[in-house]
Every structure is written in C-alpha cells, then in structure tokens.
C-alpha cells in the first residue's frame, strides 16, 4: 500500500521542525500555511535576535525555512487553509479553501498563537500615544537596523520603560496564563537597547520576574549588572502624558509608595493569546480546546502530541505559550507520533 503523506498545518518553528523530520525520514509531508511565507511569528513579525541563542531570527528560523523548501519530500502550500477534514487515522482527506484535496495518513496542527492586542489594555496608553509601542514593534525597529526611535518624532529616547505581563497574568481581561518568554525577551531587549543606544536608560516594570531555568544568569542578572537596566517591582495604574513626555503612574510594591516617572518610549511586553483561528480549527479538525482556548493535548506525558482526535497531533504554541526550542522539540515529537501513529495505537489499546 502506498503511504499517504503527513499533513502539517502551520509553517512556524513547530511546523517546520515537523515537516523537516518527516521529510528527512524519507516520508512525504504536505505543509499548509495560511500566510504568504513560511517562518511563523519570528519571520512574519520580523523578530530581531532570539533568546537564548542571540542569533538573528532571519538566520535561525530563515535557515529552517530554507531547509524545508529544499527537502524534496516536503510539498509546501502557502496562502492555503484547510476547510474540511474527514476520515480516520491512515485515511484522512483534507479539502483546502481552493478546493484542492489532500489525502493524509495523519495531521499535525502547528498553528501557533496570536499576539495579544494591546488595545485591550487601554489604560496603559497603547493606541492613544504613538510612543507607546509593543515588544514586536521594538523587535522590528532593531531588525530593520534603524535603531530605537520614538515613533512620534524619530528622536532617540532618553528613557524607556518596558512593562511586563501585558495581556498575561491578568484575570480582569480573561488571560490568567504566564506567556513564559516575555521576561527573558524583555531583559534581552533592554540589553540590546543599551548596546544600540548607551545614552538611553531602560527601566523594566514587573510583578514577578520569570527568567526561568538557565536564563536567570544570562538575562536577568546580566541585564542589571552589566547593562545597568533598572528593575521596578510595581503595580501600574495608568500611562498618560504631561504634554511633552509619557508618564507611568503606579505603586512601587516593595516600598509601598506611589511612583510616577516620565518616559520617552513605553514598551508593552505583550503575551501569547490562543490563535484567533482556534474555534474554526477545532470545528474543522474535530479537536477539543482547553479552557483557555488553546488546542488540548490528550495527555501531557506519554502521548504528548496527541489531540482528542486519534490521528491528529498538535505541537508548539498552538498548545499554549511556548519557547521556540520547545516548539521545535514538540514538532519533532509530533512528527514521530504521526509517522508511527503511536498515539493511535495507545488510544486503541486503552479502549
């Protein structure tokens, strides 16, 4: 019997890793990406240097894209989306929006996340003041080579505030999860700003610092001790303007006193929301979502990549906030599960 390909949906780090693993093993993969290009958030959003490797996203993830494009066993379809998905493990049929049909052995959902929209946090000034921006915008400033500038008039800022946990750990707006990478990304970004513009002072406002694991030394402590980044443990009330500069008002929660500091540029360290497509993906692929809206994993351990539907696997930030290295590892794990259909076997054994 001819083996059908593995269908992979989403061409970010997780989907690229899955496609490369399937292709390198000698099996066929079809990679369906809704955007016009591969690479996921790091490429499509123009990230600068990644943590923890300090490699440019365009080199690190761009390299993954090139390897997948050169893999003769992988068919890449961009500007494409799956509209219907029917059948059973070993014999699925996916129908794309343009009517094209793909027969598949199994499917891997690597559909990632959506960046938190800071307009949902209006009291912190985004959308009102042009010099309130997001970490994604600062990534783009750095990767474009233009340096750090205030969007309003192009000046180099004297003082920058990075506000952590914007759209994460915030029950009032229905987002109680921690987005995992933004503390480390922000500490790294603060060091990059100091390197690009040594006259600029950078302050990080935080509830808690979660530079987890080995990132504590290389990012949290290094940013303070070598780059002289200042950390303020605070509860922020609002970001306003005095007509000349932005003003961050809040309470310093260590000394329990009000704190008001003027800034030239305020950066929201935005979190990782569930992909806005997840309700549609859930309906099309017949997979359940967890209570936060991410795609549910059947179990966290032995059948790591398995969804609620046998033969359909999930990897990366589609399952919740993930780092790139974990998204890649999960993509490879999902490829192995899909090729061996271990999950199906185990699920059947449990019946």
Ligand X SMILES: Cc1cc2nc3c(=O)[nH]c(=O)nc-3n(C[C@H](O)[C@H](O)[C@H](O)COP(=O)(O)OP(=O)(O)OC[C@H]3O[C@@H](n4cnc5c(N)ncnc54)[C@H](O)[C@@H]3O)c2cc1C
Whole-angstrom Cα Rg for the chain: 22
Binds ligand X (CB under 6 A): choice among 272, 312, 329, 338: 272
Does position 303 bind ligand X by CB under 6 A? no
Nearer to ligand SF4 among residue 14 and residue 182 (C-beta):
182
Residue 186 half-sphere exposure toward CB, CA atoms < 13 A: 32
Q: Which does 35 bind (CB under 5 to 8 A by kind): ligand SF4, ligand X, none?
A: ligand X
Residues 150-189 as x/- pattern, contact with ligand X by CB under 6 A? -------------------------------x---x----
What element of type H or E holds 82?
A: strand 82-88
Q: Restricting to residues 257-286, which ones interact with ligand SF4 according to CB under 6 A? A: 269, 271
In the beta sheet, which residues pair with residue 159?
Answer: 201
Considering only 28, 58, 115, 169, the residue that binds ligand SF4 (CB under 6 A) is 169
**Is the CB of residue 163 less than 8 Å from the CB of residue 236?**
yes
Residue with smaller CB distance to ligand SF4, 168 or 306:
168
Structure tokens at 217: 């030394």
Query: Within 114-153, which residues bind ligand X (CB under 6 A)?
Result: 115, 135-136, 139
- How many residues appear in the chain? 351
Assigned token pair, 25: 């093993």
Using CB under 6 A as the binding rule, whether residue 41 contacts ligand X is answered as yes
Min. distance of Cβ 160 from ligand X in angstroms? 15
Burial class (CB in 10 A: 0-12, 13-18, 19+), 333: buried
Binding range to ligand X, per CB under 6 A, among 3-11, 83-91, 206-214, 244-252: 3-11
Pair 148, 251: CB distance under 8 Å = no
Which of the ranges 29-37, 100-108, 124-132, 216-224 carries the binding residues for ligand X, by CB under 6 A? 29-37
Indicate whether 23 belongs to the interface with ligand X (CB under 6 A).
Answer: no
User: Which among 74, 105, 73, 93 is positioned nearest to 4, based on CA atoms?
Assistant: 105
């Amino acid at each position: 019997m001819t083996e059908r390909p593995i269908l992979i949906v989403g061409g970010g780090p997780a989907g690229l890793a899955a496609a490369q693993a399937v292709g390198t093993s000698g099996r066929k993969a079809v990679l369906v990406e809704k955007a016009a290009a591969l690479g996921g958030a790091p490429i499509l959003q123009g990230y600068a240097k990644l943590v923890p490797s300090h490699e440019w996203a365009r080199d690190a993830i761009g390299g993954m894209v090139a390897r997948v494009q050169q893999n003769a066993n992988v068919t890449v379809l961009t500007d494409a989306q799956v509209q219907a998905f029917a059948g059973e493990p070993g014999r699925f049929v996916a129908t794309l929006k343009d009517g094209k049909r793909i027969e598949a052995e199994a499917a891997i959902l690597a559909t990632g996340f959506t960046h938190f929209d800071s307009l949902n946090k209006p009291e912190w000034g985004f959308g009102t003041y042009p010099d309130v921006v997001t970490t994604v915008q600062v990534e783009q400033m750095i990767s474009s080579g233009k340096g750090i500038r205030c969007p309003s008039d192009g000046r180099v800022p004297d003082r920058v505030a990075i506000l952590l946990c914007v759209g994460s750990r915030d029950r009032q707006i229905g987002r109680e999860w921690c987005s995992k990478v933004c503390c480390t990304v922000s500490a790294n970004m603060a060091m990059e700003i100091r390197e690009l513009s040594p006259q600029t002072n950078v302050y990080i406002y935080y509830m808690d610092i979660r530079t987890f694991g080995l990132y504590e030394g290389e990012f949290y402590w290094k940013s303070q001790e070598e780059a002289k980044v200042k950390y303020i443990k605070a509860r922020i009330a609002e970001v306003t303007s005095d007509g000349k500069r932005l003003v961050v008002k809040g309470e310093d929660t260590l000394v329990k006193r009000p704190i008001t500091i003027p800034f030239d540029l305020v950066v929201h360290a935005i979190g990782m929301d569930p992909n806005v497509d997840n309700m549609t993906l859930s309906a099309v692929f017949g997979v359940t979502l967890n209570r936060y809206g991410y795609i549910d994993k059947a179990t966290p351990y032995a059948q790591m990549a398995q969804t609620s539907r046998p033969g359909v696997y999930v990897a990366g930030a589609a399952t919740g906030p993930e780092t790139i290295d974990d998204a890649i590892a999960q993509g490879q794990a999902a490829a192995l599960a899909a090729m061996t259909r271990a999950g199906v076997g185990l699920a059947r054994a449990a019946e």
